[in-house]
C-alpha cells in the first residue's frame, strides 16, 4: 500500500503521449469549429445585405408617398434617397461599396423592383410582388 502511495505522489505531470493526445483533440475541435463559425459570419453578412435592401425599399416607399421628385422618373437610388433625407447611409458588410443601388416603381407609386449590385456577390434583384413581399427569402436565394 505504501508503494502505491509513493508512486502516486511522485507523478508530477503529463507524459508526452498524454500531451500529444490533448493537442490532437484540440486540433479536431478547432477543425470542426472554424468552418462553422465562418458559415455563421457569412450568413450574418447575407442578412445585412437583405436588411440594406429592405431599408432601401422602405425609404423609397416613404419618398414616393411624400411626393418626392426624383432625377429619373420611375426610379431612385440610395444616394438620391440619402440626399433627400429619406435614408441614412448604410454600410456594406463585406466592406465593399455597392456598385449600384436602384428601386423602380410604377405610375401608382408601387415598388416594382429593387436592385443591389455588389462587386463580390453580384447583382441582387427582387422584381415580382411575391419577391418584394419575401425580400429576405428572394435575396438569400440569389446569394447562395
Per-residue tens of pLDDT for the chain, all 144 residues: 666 566 656 666 778 898 899 999 999 999 999 988 988 888 888 888 778 888 888 888 888 888 888 777 788 888 888 888 888 887 778 877 888 888 888 877 777 888 888 887 777 777 765 665 666 565 555 555
pTM listed for this prediction? 0.67
Q: Which of 113, 142, 140 is nearest to 127 (CA)?
A: 113
27: left (phi over 0), alpha (psi -120 to 50) or beta: alpha
Amino acid at each position: 500500500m505504501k508503494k502505491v502511495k509513493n508512486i502516486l505522489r511522485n507523478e508530477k505531470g503529463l507524459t508526452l503521449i498524454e500531451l500529444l493526445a490533448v493537442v490532437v483533440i484540440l486540433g479536431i475541435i478547432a477543425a470542426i469549429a472554424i468552418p462553422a463559425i465562418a458559415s455563421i459570419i457569412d450568413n450574418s453578412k447575407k442578412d445585412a445585405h437583405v436588411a440594406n435592401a429592405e431599408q432601401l425599399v422602405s425609404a423609397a416607399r416613404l419618398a414616393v408617398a411624400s411626393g418626392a421628385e426624383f432625377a429619373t422618373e420611375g426610379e431612385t437610388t440610395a444616394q438620391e434617397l440619402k440626399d433627400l433625407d429619406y435614408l441614412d447611409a448604410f454600410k456594406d458588410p463585406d466592406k465593399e461599396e455597392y456598385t449600384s443601388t436602384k428601386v423602380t416603381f410604377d405610375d401608382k407609386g408601387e415598388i416594382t423592383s429593387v436592385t443591389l449590385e455588389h462587386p463580390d456577390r453580384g447583382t441582387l434583384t427582387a422584381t415580382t410582388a411575391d419577391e418584394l413581399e419575401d425580400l429576405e427569402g428572394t435575396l438569400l436565394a440569389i446569394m447562395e
